[in-house]
A and B are shown apart, each in its own frame.
Chain A
């Protein structure tokens, strides 16, 4: 894992001291809210519906047990004993008090964490594949590249006042678990003639105008990556619309100017910038790579196979929540933060400590936060899986539902968010509870349901197989459904199915969709998405709007 240098630590301490003084000046009245707001946002502090909210970056989703314990301590001491893990590999604290935030930031600094650039019109926390360094099919670990980008972008003077927020995601696998196509810049590491480089996608994003990123360059050698990225962001900084907040994202810049023109401008900008990079970045990358060296894997699977054969509950957990690791005696274990009926992505401080202890005792001291709001033990020795499963079950973390109907991404919606037009969390809770009651979700298999409480699409609903968007229709909550979205390597934006549903109708509507799929699928291995691709929207719309069909008949 990346280890902070003295320079990093001093930088954070100084920055936190600065913010402490700013908070004091807001409280004593020498700063107005208009003056203070941009300062607090630069440090990840929002004001939400019922309280402040502090957003802490978990760079590329990686953390160790000590950091997880510190997150738990912060939740207990200055919040309400829980934290919310998000689709951007952050943790959000929903109840901090203004005066405590500087202490919270100092506590984070003690373990090499911070909230810088988790808000504002700048390059946000760089996200990456949550199975990085562990996945069997990976070309390369994307995290050293993500860390290099983080160091380059943090407080980069040219990019503190971009037209709008800017998000970068990196994957080192063709499975693309980082949804690179829905980011301002998506990087897919590839090898050419034995040399590592990246395919660069640009202009993806969800929100008001959802778009899939376009390939700007299919191969940029690693040595050229930073100057190339700098050229892309510089072109956006110049060309990006500042007249209209909703048109300020690079996806609009790309759309309005065309990818060829953007490529031409980027190439022109790239030449002088490349000359200014003297190779120091590559020396740094080598150093960073050493920090991400794989742990010493211990061979031997112990009595894993016996437990797997003998205990159907354990077997179901293993089948659903683990995938192949690059070492045969290991697994990648995803721990669900989606117990049926719970708030997606929330973990109590006790659960955080359990996860930290398990990672430390059994799994090489590493944890990941996934963009699907779950926690991962990336290097899980199979011989310890049984013990870990038992401990997780005791802590309420043993839910075997990864990738299933109840493994829902939901944004905070109107339970917390000041921008929301409807609630998301209770809808997610009720859908999960419904599927638990129906005992259907294992039969249904892989299904991604994603919910946002407004068009900003924080819950990624556009790339949900079933997407749900909460809106305000004449003063009541209304939920619009999209179908056929996909956040994988061949990302697709879902199609709107038709008129929205009332709050008390939407769970039934989702159930009808899933039952229609069970009737329509060719065989048990055909997924919801495959059936949708084969048959199109029509039979699913018929299930959603039976009365319309009756009318037409």
Chain B
């Protein structure tokens, strides 16, 4: 292996609602970060992103986001991605149940 790879999840926004969604192992979209497929190598990450891009009738703007393995599944690394799992902090309007 060359460079250290940070594990990733594929994330996007749902076409109809705009909700933050994540790609599961089965190739479906989930609203729960913990249910995302945690991708451990660069090649798979590229392939899964292409797969997500092919689902352009379901989602908008898929991209890879850093994640780590947690107790109950993948957890976000960066605070931006953490906010995306929760919804805004000024109202209890998170689309994903906390």
Chain A complexes with chain B: yes
**A interface residues (Cβ-Cβ under 8 A, vs B):** 26-27, 29, 32-33, 47-52, 80, 94-95, 97-99, 343, 414-416, 420, 423, 425-426, 429, 472, 475-477
Contacting residues, chain B, for A99 (C-beta < 8 A): 16
Among candidates B20, B56, B57, B90, residue contacting A49 with C-beta atoms closer than 8 Å: B20
Contacting residues, chain B, for A426 (C-beta < 8 A): 89-90
**Residue pair B19, A50 in contact (C-beta under 8 Å):** yes
Among candidates B19, B80, B93, residue contacting A414 with C-beta atoms closer than 8 Å: B80
A346: shortest Cβ distance to chain B, in Å?
Answer: 8
Contacting residues, chain A, for B88 (C-beta < 8 A): 50, 94, 415-416, 425
Contacting residues, chain B, for A50 (C-beta < 8 A): 18-20, 84, 87-88, 93-95
Contacting residues, chain A, for B61 (C-beta < 8 A): 33, 47
Query: Can you offer 23 A-B residue contacts whose CB atoms are under 8 A?
Result: A27-B15, A33-B61, A47-B60, A47-B61, A48-B18, A49-B20, A49-B84, A50-B87, A50-B88, A51-B13, A51-B95, A94-B88, A343-B91, A414-B79, A415-B88, A415-B89, A423-B89, A425-B89, A426-B90, A475-B77, A475-B78, A475-B79, A476-B79
Contacting residues, chain A, for B79 (C-beta < 8 A): 414, 472, 475-477
User: Is B83 in contact with chain A by the CB < 8 A criterion?
Assistant: yes
Residues of B within 8 A of A (CB-CB), count: 25
**Residue pair A27, B83 in contact (C-beta under 8 Å):** no
Q: How many Å lie between the Cα of A94 and that of B79 in the bound state?
A: 21
Q: How many Å lie between the Cα of A136 and that of B98 in the bound state?
A: 52
Q: How many Å lie between the Cα of A477 and that of B88 in the bound state?
A: 15
**Residue pair B89, A97 in contact (C-beta under 8 Å):** no
Q: How many Å lie between the Cα of A258 and that of B57 in the bound state?
A: 48
Contacting residues, chain A, for B60 (C-beta < 8 A): 33, 47
Main secondary structure of the interface of B (DSSP, over half): loop
**Residue pair A98, B95 in contact (C-beta under 8 Å):** no
Contacting residues, chain A, for B95 (C-beta < 8 A): 50-51
Contacting residues, chain B, for A343 (C-beta < 8 A): 90-91
A-B contact count (CB 8 A): 70
Contacting residues, chain A, for B83 (C-beta < 8 A): 49, 414-415, 423
Interface centre among B15, B56, B60, B90 (most CB of A within 10 A): B90
Given A47-B61, A48-B18, A476-B79, 18 extra CB contacts under 8 A: A27-B16, A50-B95, A51-B18, A51-B95, A80-B91, A80-B93, A97-B17, A98-B15, A98-B16, A99-B16, A343-B90, A343-B91, A414-B79, A414-B80, A415-B83, A425-B89, A426-B90, A472-B80
In B18-62, the 8 Å CB interface with A consists of 18-20, 56-57, 60-61
Contacting residues, chain B, for A32 (C-beta < 8 A): 56
A107: shortest Cβ distance to chain B, in Å?
Answer: 19
Question: What residue in chain A is nearest B66 (Cβ atoms)?
Answer: A475
Q: How many Å lie between the Cα of A475 and that of B79 in the bound state?
A: 7
Contacting residues, chain B, for A98 (C-beta < 8 A): 15-18
Interface centre among B78, B80, B95 (most CB of A within 10 A): B80
Given known pairs A47-B13, A50-B18, the reply for A429 and B90 (CB within 8 Å) is yes
B84: shortest Cβ distance to chain A, in Å?
Answer: 6
Q: How many Å lie between the Cα of A415 and that of B87 in the bound state?
A: 7
**Residue pair B17, A415 in contact (C-beta under 8 Å):** no
Question: What residue in chain A is nearest B17 (Cβ atoms)?
Answer: A97
Among candidates B15, B17, B78, B90, residue contacting A425 with C-beta atoms closer than 8 Å: B90
Contacting residues, chain A, for B78 (C-beta < 8 A): 475
Contacting residues, chain B, for A97 (C-beta < 8 A): 16-18
Q: How many Å lie between the Cα of A476 and that of B80 in the bound state?
A: 9
Q: How many Å lie between the Cα of A472 and that of B87 in the bound state?
A: 19
Q: How many Å lie between the Cα of A477 and that of B78 in the bound state?
A: 10
Question: What residue in chain B is nearest A414 (Cβ atoms)?
Answer: B83
Q: How many Å lie between the Cα of A47 and that of B60 in the bound state?
A: 9
Among candidates B19, B57, B77, B91, residue contacting A51 with C-beta atoms closer than 8 Å: B19
